[in-house]
């Protein structure tokens, strides 16, 4: 009976995740990282397409999550050789919590700019990766 309930719950959670557009891209030490595509209507700047990022901590303690964002435009990595730390991101996520990017945030590491919706240019995001992902438990 427990097995049947576990399978049903897993199936329902999977459906819920798919229905709201989030796609699992990485799972590490009780932390799931998702992405979804979004068309963002913004004030004072042109509307843009983004990949939003969501971090889910399923652990019973807070964690620190870190990664380096690597970005390819026109199939060329523009920051793969960058060691400045500018694309290194660190987040603290409380136990059993979620931290997610959205269309309202600007300058956040929880989204990756894809392109402007109405302004078409020669540069196009062709790929991005979250590299060197680490998850560390934060002890109280």
- pLDDT tens readout for residues 51-84: 999 999 999 999 999 999 999 999 999 999 988 8
SS (H, E, C) 88-111: EEEEEECCCCEEECCCCCCCCCCE
pLDDT at position 95: 97
pLDDT at position 1: 54
Using CA atoms, how far residue 102 sits from 83, 89, 105, 136, in Å, is 27, 17, 6, 25
What pTM was computed for the model?
Answer: 0.81
Would the pLDDT of 16 be above 60?
Answer: no
If you average pLDDT over residues 11-32, what whole number do you get?
76
Please give the Cα distance from 31 to 27 (Å, whole number). 6
- Concatenated DSSP letters of 22-47: -EEEEEETTEEEEEEEEEE--SSS--
Q: Which residues, listed in sequence order, are joined to residue 64 by a DSSP beta bridge?
A: 92, 136
pLDDT at position 124: 85
The conformation of residue 14, written as its DSSP 8-state character, comes to H
Would the pLDDT of 8 be above 80?
Answer: no
- How does residue 136 score in pLDDT terms, banded at 50, 70 and 90? very high
Please give the Cα distance from 121 to 100 (Å, whole number). 28
Domains of the chain, first to last: 23-137 (2.60.40)
């Amino acid at each position: 009976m427990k097995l049947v309930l576990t399978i049903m719950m897993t199936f329902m959670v999977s459906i819920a995740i798919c229905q709201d557009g989030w796609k699992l891209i990485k799972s590490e030490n009780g932390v799931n990282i998702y992405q979804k595509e979004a068309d963002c209507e913004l004030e004072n700047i042109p509307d843009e397409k983004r990949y939003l990022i969501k971090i889910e901590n399923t652990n019973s303690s807070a964690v620190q999550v870190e990664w380096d964002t690597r970005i390819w435009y026109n199939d060329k990595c523009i920051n793969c050789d960058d060691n400045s730390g500018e694309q290194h991101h660190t987040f603290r996520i409380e136990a059993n919590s979620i931290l997610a990017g959205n269309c309202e945030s600007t300058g956040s590491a929880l989204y990756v700019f894809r392109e402007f919706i109405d302004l078409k240019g020669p540069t196009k995001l062709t790929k991005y990766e979250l590299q060197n992902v680490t998850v560390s438990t934060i002890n109280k």
